[in-house]
């Protein structure tokens, strides 16, 4: 996630999540034993928090929320340091292909809305066939 100005990413900005899958036990195993050592527990915590914004057993979009909910859910302070940590964790998730973040401008209220699109973890076969595995 690239944010040039931290005033464009505050606890007051709204977001929603899109998830088109449900996690299987194998996906959970991949998150805990493969992805977490690569990107850290805080990034995986963000992934799981975002995942649970859409009800279990359902797919689709979450409701609009303020970023404050993410910061509080992760135990981060609502200041520049907390926002930078959230941005860094989102960037790590994007780097390994688990998240795609978009910043959308809403002209009605002259503000930005963030879309977090979760992507399912790769299966062990898919993971070993990708370039990520070769560079680790």
* One pLDDT digit (tens) per residue for the chain, 136 residues: 666 656 567 788 899 999 999 999 999 999 999 999 999 999 999 999 999 999 888 999 999 999 999 999 999 998 989 989 999 999 999 999 999 999 888 888 778 899 999 999 998 888 877 755 555 5
SS3 128: helix
How many other C-beta atoms lie within 10 A of the C-beta of residue 43? 24
The reported pLDDT for the residue numbered 124 is: 86
Cα 53-43-95 angle, rounded to 5 deg: 105
The reported pLDDT for the residue numbered 122 is: 92
The reported pLDDT for the residue numbered 7 is: 59
Indicate the domain borders of the chain.
12-135
**Torsion angle of alpha carbons 18, 11, 91, 101, nearest 10°?**
30
Q: Cα separation of 27 and 90, whole Å?
A: 19
The reported pLDDT for the residue numbered 128 is: 79
State the distance between the two ends of the chain, measured CA to CA, in whole angstroms.
Answer: 22
Q: Out of 1.10.10, 3.40.50, 3.30.70, 1.10.260, which CATH number does the structure's domain 12-135 have? A: 1.10.10
The reported pLDDT for the residue numbered 111 is: 81
The reported pLDDT for the residue numbered 74 is: 92
Spatial contact of 101 and 116, defined as CB atoms under 8 Å apart: yes
The reported pLDDT for the residue numbered 125 is: 85
């Amino acid at each position: 996630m690239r944010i040039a100005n931290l005033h464009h990413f505050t606890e007051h900005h709204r977001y929603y999540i899109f998830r088109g899958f449900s996690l299987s036990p194998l996906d959970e195993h991949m998150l805990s034993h493969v992805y977490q050592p690569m990107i850290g527990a805080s990034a995986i915590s963000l992934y799981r928090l975002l995942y649970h914004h859409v009800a279990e057993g359902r797919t689709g979009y979450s409701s609009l929320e303020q970023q404050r909910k993410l910061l509080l859910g992760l135990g981060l302070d609502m200041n520049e340091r907390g926002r930078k940590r959230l941005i860094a964790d989102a960037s790590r998730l994007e780097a390994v292909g688990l998240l795609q973040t978009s910043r959308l401008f809403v002209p009605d209220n002259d503000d930005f809305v963030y879309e977090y699109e979760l992507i399912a973890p790769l299966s062990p076969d898919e993971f070993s066939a990708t370039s990520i595995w070769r560079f680790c």
